[in-house]
A and B are shown apart, each in its own frame.
Chain A
Amino acid sequence: MLTLQTRLRPNDGVAAKVFEGEAIIINLSNGIYYSMDNVGALIWEQIEAGLNLGEIVATLTARYDVSAGQAQADLERLGGELVEEGIVQPGQDDGSSRDRPRSVGATGLRYDSPRLEIYRDIGHLLALDPPMPGLRDVPWNAPAQDAPGEPGT
């Protein structure tokens, strides 16, 4: 059970990056892709920074127009999903040193409940749709629309 003292730690074998308000997370062990926008991306940054859930709730309420109760409920739900997907594992806050949380910056922003977008079939699609092997090299004479090359579908 997740509490405000829980710290979620990204599992080994998870690749993630936050870019311009979006988190892209990939479970390398099974090839499942995830993404989270805006609030979710900020939460992921805070998880990676080693904050416990209580500290993340404080960050959310400082930045967004959201009550602590709503932020906590959303965070516990999202955290549960991340644990269930094998992306993070929960642990108790041991008070060890951690990265400083990001500055809150803007405040009172519009709050949308964070959502974990899941793409379970990419590995399956990749297996079904390998690139065609090169049968031969056809010199490319841009913008040659007259020189067909490698067989396609």
Chain B
Amino acid sequence: MKLRVLYWPRVFWPQIGGVERIAADFLPAMRQRGYEFAVITSHSSLPMPDEYEFQGAPVYRFHFWEALVERDPSRIFQIAERIAAIKRDFEPDLVHVNYWEPSLYFQHRTATAAPTPLLVSFRGPPPESGGTAETVFGRTMHTATWVTAVSTSVLQAVRAHVPEVTSRSSVIHNGIDLPPLQPTPLSFQPPRLLCIGRLVPEKGFDLALRALALLVRAFPSLRLTIAGDGPERPVLETLARELGVNAAVRFLGWVPPEQVPSLMNEATLVLVPSRWEGLPGVAIQASQMARPIVATDVWGIPEIVIDGVTGLLTESEDVPGLARGVDFLLRHPEEAAAFGKSARRHVEVAFNWQRYLDAHDSLYRTLTTEVGCADPADALAPQ
């Protein structure tokens, strides 16, 4: 008999981002391993139906955010009733929530409709609002059967914030399937830098522009490609002009995921200047394509980018540090190539897609079959 998992991400395909990309691959892969999924997620500005099917899994979208902002008890009740009905109909063996966010209020409110083990996965650090019993976050954590984090640094933050989960929590690093495209040798003529991601402040692409401004005098042919889209794009375009580097910058806009490996192959090195990251998929993908990385030493990044081995790390907001890292790698092509090769080897092992699936397969089965024991931690070793 198939195990049924109610999967609850903040947003879901066809919204696109690192988390959504992984989820879109994860569900079909886990279905092949014998799981049945239903998805509950939020509506967004995309015009989407309330219900549809994604690769055999029903997807239910709700206006969670709007209902809570409007503070309309009738609308909140209607959503909760619908979710309770979905749970009663689907009869999940496990509920897997994939982000801390306001919709967890509805998960908690409907918990009794289908009492099941609850798996909570953190893609980034926890909210600063307390983990007390009088909060959605605290209630979710208190009732979680198991907690996973996408990186060791995120797990440490979660445990520091909610110590009670220490004995029932572990890390599952993201995994990304190795693309069929082989890495090409690094090209330094001309040197090309690449940033990929949503154009939002936490990605730190403004820092990349400022670093570029420090580098163009020494490397007049240096070019920076920024791939992605987002609300910061006008700000970044203006900044590039103000810094006098707009001729050296190409804003590529949104790039389909399947084109990312070939885009990586065009880059001499990849910049990940983030201010905040759970575990950036772009750093994993750059490593898969044997690109050396210059990145900020924040959250999960050092678990992908090993300083001096697969890339170079600098402090957050350290523009001169980013520039020094780029400068070093451009002046030392052999080291840069060696970093890239080491990076590929590192992620093939540590961020392996099959390992990611295996870890969830094992955890799902343990949580659903061992839930009868008083303490699931007896069956699962925290890391």
Chain B interface residue bracket vs A? 35 or more
**Pair A119/B20 contact, Cβ less than 8 Å:** no
Task: Please state if A24 and B136 are interface contacts (CB–CB under 8 Å).
Answer: no
Q: Is the CB of A143 within 8 A of B101?
A: no
| Cβ–Cβ contact A148 & B256, under 8 A | yes
**Residues on B with beta carbons closer than 8 Å to the beta carbon of A135:** 229-231, 254
Q: Which residues of A contact B15 (CB under 8 A)?
A: 132, 148-152
Decide yes or no: A151 and B52 within 8 Å by CB, A121-B130, A126-B69, A138-B46 being known contacts. Answer: no
CB-CB under 8 A from A119, the residues of chain B are 105, 134-136, 139
Is A145 in contact with chain B by the CB < 8 A criterion? yes
Q: Contact at B76–A24, with CB atoms within 8 Å?
A: yes
A19 vs B72: C-alpha distance when bound (angstroms): 13
0 or 1 for each of A8-27: is its CB under 8 Å from B? (1 = yes): 00000001110110101110
Pick from A120, A124, A125, A129: contact of B134, CB under 8 Å: A120
User: What are the 8 tightest A-B residue pairs by CB atom distance, in nearest-first order?
Assistant: A134-B45, A152-B17, A17-B73, A121-B129, A121-B135, A148-B16, A152-B15, A24-B73
- Chain-B contact segment, one of A28-36, A53-61, A70-78: A28-36
Taking A15-B72, A26-B71 as contacts, is the C-beta distance between A152 and B16 under 8 angstroms?
yes
Please, what's the 1-or-0 string for B8-48, where 1 marks a CB less than 8 Å from any CB in chain A? Answer: 00110111111110001000000000000000001011111
- Work out how many contacts link A and B, with CB atoms closer than 8 A: 144
Residues of A whose CB lies within 8 Å of any CB of B are 15-17, 19-20, 22, 24-26, 28, 31, 33, 35, 118-122, 124-126, 128-138, 140, 142-145, 147-153
Query: Is the C-beta of B219 less than 8 angstroms from some C-beta in chain A?
Result: no
- Main secondary structure on chain B at its contact with chain A? loop
Cβ-based interface call for B82 (8 A): no
Q: Is the CB of B68 within 8 A of A122?
A: yes
Residues in chain B near residue A17, CB distance under 8 A: 73-74, 77
Q: Which residues of A contact B101 (CB under 8 A)?
A: 125, 129
Complexed CA–CA distance, A15 and B75 (Å)? 12
* Alpha-carbon distance A16/B71, docked complex (angstroms): 10
Given contacts A150-B15, A151-B230, contact A15 B71 (CB under 8 A): yes
Given contacts A24-B76, A121-B137, 10 further A-B contacts (CB under 8 A): A16-B73, A19-B77, A119-B139, A125-B129, A129-B102, A131-B44, A132-B11, A138-B46, A144-B14, A153-B17
Interface string of B127-164 (1 = CB under 8 A from A): 11110101111110000000000000000000000000
Contacts of B139 in A (CB 8 A): 119
Chain B residues positioned under 8 Å from A149 (CB to CB) = 14-16, 46
> A14 vs B272: C-alpha distance in the bound complex, in angstroms?
47
Can you name the residue of chain A whose Cβ is closest to the Cβ of B23?
A152
Contact between chains at B73 and A126 (CB < 8 Å):
no
Check A152/B19 contact, CB under 8 A, given A126-B65, A133-B45, A144-B14.
Answer: yes
Measured CA separation A143–B56 after assembly (Å): 10
Q: Are B102 and A151 in contact (CB under 8 A)?
A: no
B44, B135, B136, B228: the one contacting A150 at CB < 8 Å is: B44
Q: Which residues of B have CB within 8 Å of A33? A: 105
A126 touches B16 (CB 8 A): no
Is B353 interfacial (CB-CB < 8 Å)? Answer: no
Distance in angstroms from A85 CB to nearest chain B CB is: 10
B residues near A150, Cβ cutoff 8 Å: 14-16, 44-46
